[in-house]
Amino acid sequence: MKKIEEAILPVKPLTRESLTMWILLLVLSLLTIYALAAIDYTSVDMGKAMADTLNNFKTIFFHPAAHRLSLWDAFYEVLITMGLAFLTTLFGGVIAMLLGLLAAQNLAPKQVTNIIKGFVAFIRAVPSILWVLIFAVAAGLGSVAAVIGLTFHSVSYLTKAYSESFEELDRSVIEALMASGANWWQIIFQAVIPSSVSSLLSWTFMRFEINFANAVAMGAAAGAAGIGFDLFMDSGFYFDLREIGLVTYFIIAFAIVLETISTNLKSKILIKKA
Amino acid sequence: MQSDIFAKRKKDSLIFFFLLILLTVGSVVITQYDVSKGFTSLLKAFIWGGSNFYPDGKSLTILPDVLRKLWDTILMSIAATTVATVFATLLALVGSRTTRMNRLFSLVARGIASLFRNIPLVAWAMVLMLAFSQSSITGYLALFLGSFGFLTRAFIETIDEVSNDSVEALSATGASYFHIIFQSVLPSSLPQMISWILFMIDTNIRDATLVGLLTGTGIGFSFDLYYKSFNFHAASLVVILIVITVILIEMVSNTIRRVIM
């Protein structure tokens, strides 16, 4: 009798999973309330600042105009940013390819994969702007520091993505090739890379999308060339809201194109996995 | 037949590498990237880093001040994430294919998410600074607006993935819209959503450094201050503290993910 009752009315048990989730959400909410209460609101007139900001956004989005930059200049600046993003992705991809092979559990010994994974986690923990600024001391502010600094995060992201793509290759394929006398490099170039090439390209493109956003940020914060620098100059020095609008529209247009492509690529990877 | 496959593979990779080289040369020219300087400065940076970029005894005196700034930054990042989560959940429910009220609202919601996500964080920060000036509210709002766009898109994808069948089943039994949302959609997407929230907190702490640099708030401002006054020992201490924080938060996040998923 009891069994049937349970089957009809399953009481939702408080499992370890849901308990963890609720505690986490509670802790985050409490911290948020504390943080919002601790903000010093007296230093700014909130109402006025809000109204000003809304006004500024209105100018930015509804009255974009070119003053200092011509439309062609703005377009060329976006191209420079794209170039920075491309170089970053390329360097990151090449290094990550090697590290990815060493971090894949079916291709390298466990100690090696652990070392690589630790290294990659460390790279990721340093914000990308700090990598760029640290390199800027040696290379000077500019495209060299931006590209090298941003390459670090690309390496860490792509190493993880690549090694996971490599790990999808069935162990038996590698064993069959080993049994037939193929050496490590032959296995890599004849089996591992050809079988994962489409997901490698998709991941690389997704990183390119992220790198584009990063390159914009580095233009503003680390004096690298490109559209981000114009954004910084217009808002920090010229206070030219209308031109900020123009620059923002250019960035959004390019970013949305990249986003659309990478969303399509991502759904392709998911279909392949499913 | 076999040789055809190899010939085709060879041709494909030739075209691929040709395009790659073309794009690389184009990028190098357009960005005025100095390739040889790239290599030499990499070496130089490591030598310089090894000899200058480490905390010394004197820099430890700034520790209490930096720790307080770091704590503020962590709190700001969490607050920005949770508040963005509330708004993003609402918008994601409107935007998701399974829970939307109608096509038009869904399209509008997705459009808003895409717009917010693609406006660079830098733009948010700089424009907010014009009105809110150098206060922690500027950093908080910039992070909030960036997180809002990102989380909305992530939540829409999550809800789409997780809750198709159960929504159909429930609506067949005559459950109301809100019953479906609270009994099926949210509970089944919650683990994945929490995973995104944890990711966002981690990202926000790192982005807070960037926003802080631009708007003069939080831990980013501390770094900028020491960096620009060539006090590299102190600057390196800031970097190390950020690294420890991010790694600790990642470890906690991974533990939580293992339990809930």
Q: Residues A82-107, buried b or exposed e (16+ Cβ, 10 A)?
A: bbbbbbbbbbbbebbbebbbbbbebb
Q: Is the pLDDT of residue B68 over 80?
A: yes
For B138, the token pair is 């500027």
Residue B5 touches partner A, C-beta closer than 8 Å: no
Chain B window 198-237: which residues touch A at a Cβ cutoff of 8 Å?
206-207, 209-210, 213-214, 220, 223, 227, 232
- Reported pTM: 0.86
Report CB contact under 8 Å: A20, B82.
no
Q: Which of A21, A63, A122, A264 to mutate to test the interface with B (most CBs of B within 10 A)?
A: A21
Encode pLDDT of A71-114 as tens digits: 888 899 999 999 999 999 999 999 999 999 999 988 889 999 99
Name the packing angle between helices B35-52 and A143-167 (round to 10°): 90
Could you tell me which of A122, A128, A118 has the C-alpha nearest to residue A153? Answer: A128
Whether B203 shows a pLDDT value over 60: the answer reads yes
B190 in contact with A at a CB cutoff of 8 Å? yes
Q: A22-38 burial by CB neighbour count: b if 16+ within 10 A, else e?
A: eebeeebbeebeebbee
The closest of A222, A192, A185, A39 to A106, measured between CA atoms, is A192
How much is the pLDDT for B204? 93
B249 in A contact zone (CB under 8 Å)? no
Amino acid code (one letter) for B14? L
Judging contacts by C-beta atoms under 8 Å, the chain A residues touching residue B117 are 259
pLDDT (mean) for A17-30:
91
d(CA A138, CA B232): 13
CA atoms of B29 and B212, how far apart (whole Å) = 32
CA-based nearest residue in chain B for residue A85 = B27
Residue of A nearest to B49 (CA): A134
Please name the helix (run of DSSP H) or strand (run of DSSP E) that holds residue B135, with its range, or none: none
Residues A84, A143 contacting (CB under 8 angstroms): yes
Q: What is the spatial distance between Cα B87 and Cα B78, in angstroms, rounded to a whole number?
A: 15
Percent of residues, chain B, with pLDDT higher than 90: 33
Give per-residue pLDDT as tens, B102-141.
889 889 999 999 889 888 888 888 888 888 888 888 889 9
Q: In chain A, where are the structural domains located?
A: 72-273
- B162-173 confidence digits (pLDDT tens): 767 788 888 888
For residue range A200-257, list pLDDT tens digits in order. 988 999 999 999 999 999 888 887 888 888 888 888 888 888 888 999 999 999 999 9
Closest Cβ–Cβ partner in A133, A143, A221 for B32: A143
- Residues in CB range of B248: below 8 A, 6 or more apart: none
Identity of the amino acid at B73:
T
Q: Which of the four pLDDT bands, split at 50, 70 and 90, describes residue B148?
A: very high
pLDDT (0 to 100) of residue A1: 46
Domain A72-273 has CATH 3.40.800.10: no
CATH of domain B58-260: 1.10.3720.10
Residues of B in contact with A122 (CB under 8 A): 243, 247
ipTM of the complex: 0.84
Domain boundaries, chain B: 2-52, 58-260
Q: What tokens does A66 get?
A: 């070119």
> How many other CB atoms are found less than 10 A from the CB of residue B68?
12
Asked if A32 lies within 8 A of B49 by C-beta distance, the reply is no
How do residues A139-182 score in pLDDT, each as one tens digit?
A: 888 888 889 989 999 999 999 999 999 988 888 888 888 899 88
